[in-house]
């Protein structure tokens, strides 16, 4: 079910009203059944995948908690293989088979494996990583095994963050399902304004920018460098508003019922370095890779070369997590390379005194970081390496920019897009948190946001970008 749909609005109202009218156990059953329906709207058959992994991980958690010695490790491995196995089969099988076919074609040999024809289950990477974090934390003895099957199933299925995060840890979420939250008007205001702001970012900003982005990236060979540069800038803000908008709606939806989900974004485009960007962008995923891959590989506790390898490998895996294509791998690898080069610069070429005045240093670093991030988004969005190469070549061919911007938007709509981007940046710079303590102001702001969404929202590109992951 899409957050930006009338169906979800009715669903949210009915489920929330029913939630506050039930005792604690009834609430848990309600949320689990509602979450199953929420996911089944996309494609019912894929609930079976969730059911299998939930059963396996539930019993694995209990057995791991009671086991000793090597048995604990083997139980964890069994759980991880089940989760990664589903992810690999549905998300990476065709990708691996395609690359195998390319290699074998060099020897005039066809691939012996058939290609599969199915749609990727919505949000598979998200709920797989959340499920894996549970068994890993139980294995590390940081989390007690959950004995209540319904509550554990809800931990994986909780509808606000089921298909696109935030990727929660059991320590933050499981205890909340054991708690009874009374109706709180403060939570209602905080949650609704967060939903409204997230909806505004999605339907007014992201989906409006998408009109230009899709036009540019569908046929980059038909456009000049200036057009593609504008399309890339627009995509940089589209993906942020699309994904952070989803997180806002998820956090707000949960907050209305009393639950508190972790923050997933912290004004990432105000970062002054790539490392800072990754502390602010998709925080739940960055933390997941840090705690469950980077640190177990040795993290910063190993030699310098090994540390560089660890960082590069983790970011390549992050890219592959996002999508089964070399463009995503390159996107992740570039971010890993940025971090390594920055670390080498700081260690071997760090100037004792900055050559720039202090008041210029921060804005220049901010702009430089933004440009680096923006250029990597080309690989994230492009339909293949060939298109990415065309886009970058044209962007950097400054002499071929021309005087004409190709666009499906008229001049007024283009100006409106730039004003939306400027307004977004101003809001996040000066009003990062929307204050809801003043009730009349809350009502006014909520109503205004909803009216603006209705009259200025674009409802042609309804899917959230991160649903494909």
Point out the residues that are catalytic.
322
- CA dihedral of 214, 220, 222, 226, whole degrees rounded to 10: 90
DSSP code for 180:
-
Q: How far apart are CA 149 and CA 62, in angstroms?
A: 11
Query: The tokens of 425 are what?
Result: 């940046």
Residue 318: closest CA among 370, 281, 270, 362: 281
| Torsion sign (Cα): 249, 250, 251, 255 | positive
Q: Is 302 helix (H, G, I), strand (E, B) or coil?
A: coil
Cα distances (Å, whole numbers) of residue 212 to 240, 269, 382, 405: 16, 21, 14, 11
Q: How far apart are CA 13 and CA 15, in angstroms?
A: 6
C-alpha of 217 from chain center: 21
DSSP code for 237:
H
- Determine phi and psi for 73, rounding to 5 degrees: -65, -40
Q: How many CB atoms lie within 10 A of CB 3?
A: 26
Query: The tokens of 61 are what?
Result: 């958690």
DSSP code for 54:
H
């Amino acid at each position: 079910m899409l957050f930006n749909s009338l169906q979800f609005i009715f669903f949210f109202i009915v489920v929330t009203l029913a939630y506050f009218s039930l005792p604690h156990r009834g609430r848990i059953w309600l949320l689990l059944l509602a979450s199953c329906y929420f996911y089944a709207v996309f494609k019912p058959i894929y609930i079976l995948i969730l059911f299998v992994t939930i059963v396996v991980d539930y019993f694995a958690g209990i057995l791991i908690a009671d086991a000793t010695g090597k048995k604990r490790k083997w139980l964890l491995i069994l759980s991880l293989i089940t989760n990664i196995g589903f992810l690999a089969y549905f998300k990476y099988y065709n990708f691996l088979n395609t690359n195998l076919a390319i290699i074998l074609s060099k020897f005039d040999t066809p691939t012996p494996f058939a290609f599969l024809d199915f749609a990727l289950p919505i949000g598979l990477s998200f709920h797989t990583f959340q499920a894996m974090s549970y068994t890993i934390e139980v294995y590390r003895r940081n989390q007690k095994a959950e004995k209540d099957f319904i509550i554990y199933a809800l931990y994986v299925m909780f509808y606000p963050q089921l298909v696109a995060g935030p990727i929660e840890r059991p320590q933050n979420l499981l205890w909340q399902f054991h708690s009874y939250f009374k109706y709180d008007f403060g939570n209602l205001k905080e949650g609704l304004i967060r939903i409204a702001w997230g909806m505004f970012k999605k339907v007014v900003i992201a989906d409006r920018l998408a009109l230009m982005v899709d036009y540019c990236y569908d046929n980059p060979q038909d456009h000049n460098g200036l057009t593609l540069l504008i399309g890339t800038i627009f995509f940089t803000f589209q993906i942020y508003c699309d994904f952070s908008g989803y997180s806002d709606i998820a956090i707000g939806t949960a907050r209305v019922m009393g639950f508190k989900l972790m923050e997933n974004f912290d004004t990432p485009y105000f970062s002054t370095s790539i490392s800072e960007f990754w502390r602010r962008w998709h925080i739940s995923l960055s933390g997941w890779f840090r705690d469950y891959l980077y640190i177990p590989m040795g993290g910063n506790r190993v030699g310098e070369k090994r540390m560089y390898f660890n960082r590069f490998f983790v970011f390549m895996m992050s890219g592959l997590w996002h999508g089964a294509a070399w463009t995503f791998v390159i996107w992740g690898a570039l971010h890993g390379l940025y971090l390594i080069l920055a670390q080498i610069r700081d260690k071997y070429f760090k100037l004792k005194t900055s050559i720039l005045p202090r008041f210029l240093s921060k804005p220049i670093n901010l702009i430089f970081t933004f440009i680096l991030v923006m250029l990597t988004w080309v690989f994230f969005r492009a339909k293949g390496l060939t298109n990415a190469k065309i886009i970058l070549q044209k962007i950097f061919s400054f002499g071929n920019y021309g005087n004409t911007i190709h666009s499906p938007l008229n001049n007024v709509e283009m100006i409106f897009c730039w004003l939306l981007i400027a307004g977004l940046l101003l809001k996040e710079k000066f009003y990062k948190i929307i204050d809801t303590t003043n009730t009349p102001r809350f009502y006014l702001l909520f109503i205004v946001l909803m009216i603006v969404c209705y009259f200025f929202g674009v409802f042609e590109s309804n899917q959230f970008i991160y649903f494909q992951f």
